[in-house]
């Protein structure tokens, strides 16, 4: 287990980039109400993984590193209810990772991610929370008072990802290895 977790952390470190958050604006509430990104996501940092203190790893789980402000009208899905979004790599992402890691390391990584994602799917089923696996690049999360659009292929993306969402909160890109802990912290159950 420790070896798999170490490998998981190393892969995320290698695949991440250090990208500063943009000082752009995003839509909140009504169609013309805006707020700076920094204020929109300041509460999200409390949910970032704290187990390693590794800034590079934490960048993979920061919401603002995936946020976009425009997207093609035919390449997004809308999520507006409580759910768990399970994301798998695109064909292009898989090909790049296989080339970068080699076939054997890629297969090991894919197996590890499949295991952890299955834990999230089981935890969601146990709590009767729907799981969604979008095939579109962009995910538009529409909440009670906020709207956020994420690019699943953002530069920091490692391909595999789990996003927790409920309409009364911002989405949370989960970095917890333990799915039940993540659910208790985010969903309260």
pLDDT tens digits in sequence order for the chain, 189 residues long = 444 444 444 433 334 333 333 322 333 333 322 333 333 333 333 333 344 445 555 667 888 989 999 999 999 999 999 999 999 998 998 898 899 889 898 899 889 989 999 999 999 999 999 999 999 999 999 999 999 999 999 888 888 999 999 999 999 998 888 899 999 999 998
In sequence order, the 6+-apart residues with CB closer than 8 A to the CB of 74 are none
pLDDT of residue 126: 96
pLDDT at 57: 56
- Residue 2: CA atoms inside 13 Å, Cβ hemisphere, count? 0
Range of the domain at 70: 2-187
DSSP sequence for the chain: -HHHHHHHHHHHHHH----PPP--EEEBSSTT-EEEHHHHHTTGGGGS--SS--HHHHHTT-GGGTB-S---TTSEEEE-SSEEEEE---HHHHHHHHHHH-HHHHHHHHHHHHHHHHHHHHHHHHTT-EEE---SSEEEEE-SSBEEEEETT-TT--S-EEEEE-TTS--EE---S-HHHHHHHHH--
pTM of full prediction above 0.75: no
The reported pLDDT for the residue numbered 82 is 97
Q: Number of folded domains in the chain?
A: 1
Alpha carbon distance 93, 90 (integer Å): 5
The CA-to-CA distance between both ends of the chain, in Å, stands at 25
What Å distances lie between residue 148 and 52, 56, 171, CA to CA? 27, 23, 8
Supply the pLDDT for residue 83.
97
């Amino acid at each position: 287990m420790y070896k798999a977790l170490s490998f998981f952390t190393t892969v995320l470190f290698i695949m991440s980039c250090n990208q500063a958050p943009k000082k752009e604006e995003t839509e909140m509430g009504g169609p013309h109400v805006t707020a700076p990104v920094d204020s929109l996501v300041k509460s999200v940092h409390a949910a970032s993984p704290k187990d390693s203190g590794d800034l590079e790893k934490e960048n993979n789980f920061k919401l603002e590193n995936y946020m976009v402000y425009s997207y093609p009208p035919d390449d997004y899905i809308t999520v507006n209810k409580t759910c768990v979004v399970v994301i798998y790599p695109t064909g292009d992402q898989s090909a790049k990772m296989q080339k970068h890691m080699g076939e054997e390391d890629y297969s090991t990584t894919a197996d590890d991610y499949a295991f952890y994602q299955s834990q999230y799917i089981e935890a969601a089923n146990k709590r009767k929370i729907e799981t969604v696996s979008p095939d579109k690049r962009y995910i538009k999360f529409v909440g009670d008072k906020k709207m956020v659009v994420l690019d699943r292929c953002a530069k920091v993306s490692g391909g595999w990802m789990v996003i927790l969402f409920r309409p009364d909160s911002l989405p949370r890109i989960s970095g917890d290895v333990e799915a039940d802990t993540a659910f208790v912290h985010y969903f309260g159950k």
